[in-house]
Structure formats: C-alpha cells, structure tokens
Amino acid sequence: MAVEKLNTVSPLFKRLDNGTNTTDLENLGISENGPKLRDSILHTKFQGLSGEFWLKDGQLQSSTFKIMNLIGKGEREIGFWSSTHGLSGNSDLTTNTSSETNLRAIIWPGETTVIPKGWEMPTSERKLKVGVPKKDGFSDFVKVEKDQWTNATLVTGFCIDVFKAVVD
C-alpha cells in the first residue's frame, strides 16, 4: 500500500564511496525514496483482521476489542478493552474509567455466575499451591530434591524458572 502510493517505476539508490575495503552490505547504497516511503507508511490506514491499522507518532495504535463470553453456541458481550483505557463496560472509551465493576457478569459452564474453584486469582491471604511431578530423568527441566537439614522440598529446573517468570 505505502509503496504503491509512491508511484515509483524503478527504485533509485545512492552509492556511497567507502573506498575499496567495504563489505557487500555497504555496497547496497541508500534508497533516494526512503524518506518518501517512511512518510507514506506513517500515513497508511487500513482495516486489518484485528481492527484498524494506523500509526500515531510512529507507534501502532491498538484497536478497541470487544470482550465476549461464549456460552455453548451463543455469545454475550461482557465489555471492552483498549490499551489506553483498559477494561470498560461501555464502548464509549472517551471516559477514563477502567473499573471492572461496570462489566457484565461472566456466565461459567453450568450456567452459573459463581467463579469455579481454580479460576479465582490467588490473594495474598492464600498461598498458591502447585503440584510438581517427580520423575527420574530430564532433571534439567524439573528436579525435585529434599533438603536434609530443613526437610523442605527444593524444586529447580528450566520449567520451574519459566513458571516463576510468568507468575512474577
């Protein structure tokens, strides 16, 4: 789209005189259409699969997404999300309210609005418990050991590091 707007038949390149000790990349030259192409990209707008594509101050502006609750073969609108306003219960995101209280209730499997056990976010009052399978082999991924002095279980390895990074 942006390149087509330039209407250039053949690209023009300025060659730089760097002497004889140059790499192949230095011999490519610089496009004379570069600034025009940049400006054309910065002013490009189109409708993509995830919403409207447009740049503001060189940054991609994310769309507002509708949060849907899928129930069997049906659906129900819960609210809206945008990167600037977060979650909101109405599509008018000009007001800066990101309160989750104005969102519609989620209908969980079993046609209930009660959050099923295991889906709740842990609070500081309750400790998150995670079961780790202890198997021999592949100790680089998961290794379970017992500290002989404190009798504490020590769990280490790549999978544990990834899990901790996600939780933190």
Lowest mean pLDDT among 4-8, 35-39, 61-65, 128-132: 4-8
pLDDT score, position 150: 93
Q: Are residues 108 and 143 in the same domain?
A: no
Chain centroid, CA 149 distance in Å: 43
Cα dihedral across residues 19, 20, 22, 25: positive or negative: positive
Same domain, 106 and 131: no
Are residue 31 and residue 53 in the same domain, yes or no? yes
Pairing of strands 46-48, 51-53: antiparallel
53, 48, 83: which is closest to 65 by C-alpha? Answer: 83
Round to whole Å and give the CA distance between 87 and 1: 33
Instruction: Give residue 106's domain range.
Output: 64-120
Weakest mean pLDDT among 13-22, 25-34, 72-81, 128-137: 13-22
19 pLDDT band (50/70/90 cuts)? low
- 137, 110: one domain: no
Work out how many domains the chain is built from and give that number.
3
Report which of residues 55 and 84 the model is more confident about.
55
How far apart, in whole angstroms, are the C-alpha atoms of residue 120 and residue 6? 53
Verify that 104 and 130 share a domain, yes or no: no
Q: Are residues 107 and 128 part of one domain?
A: no
Write down the pLDDT at residue 95.
55
Residue 121 has what pLDDT?
A: 64
Residues 55 and 92 in one domain: no
Same domain, 135 and 116: no
Q: pLDDT tens digits for 59-110?
A: 777 777 888 888 888 888 988 887 777 778 877 655 555 455 578 888 888 8
Beta sheet of 74-82, edge-to-edge order: 65-71, 74-82, 86-88
Model-level pTM?
Answer: 0.42
27 vs 156, which has greater pLDDT?
A: 156
Q: How far apart are CA 144 and CA 134, in angstroms?
A: 6
Judge if 52 and 85 occupy the same domain: no
Q: Are residues 129 and 142 in the same domain?
A: yes
Specify which residues 80 forms β-bridges with.
66, 88
Tokens 């999978």 sit on residue: 159
Checking phi first, is residue 102 left (phi over 0); if not, alpha (psi -120 to 50) or beta? alpha
Domain boundary among 60, 83, 106: 60
Task: State whether 47 and 68 are in the same domain.
Answer: no
Higher model confidence: residue 167 or residue 22?
167
> In the chain, which ranges are E strands?
13-14, 30-31, 46-48, 51-53, 55-56, 59-60, 65-71, 74-82, 86-88, 143-146, 153-156
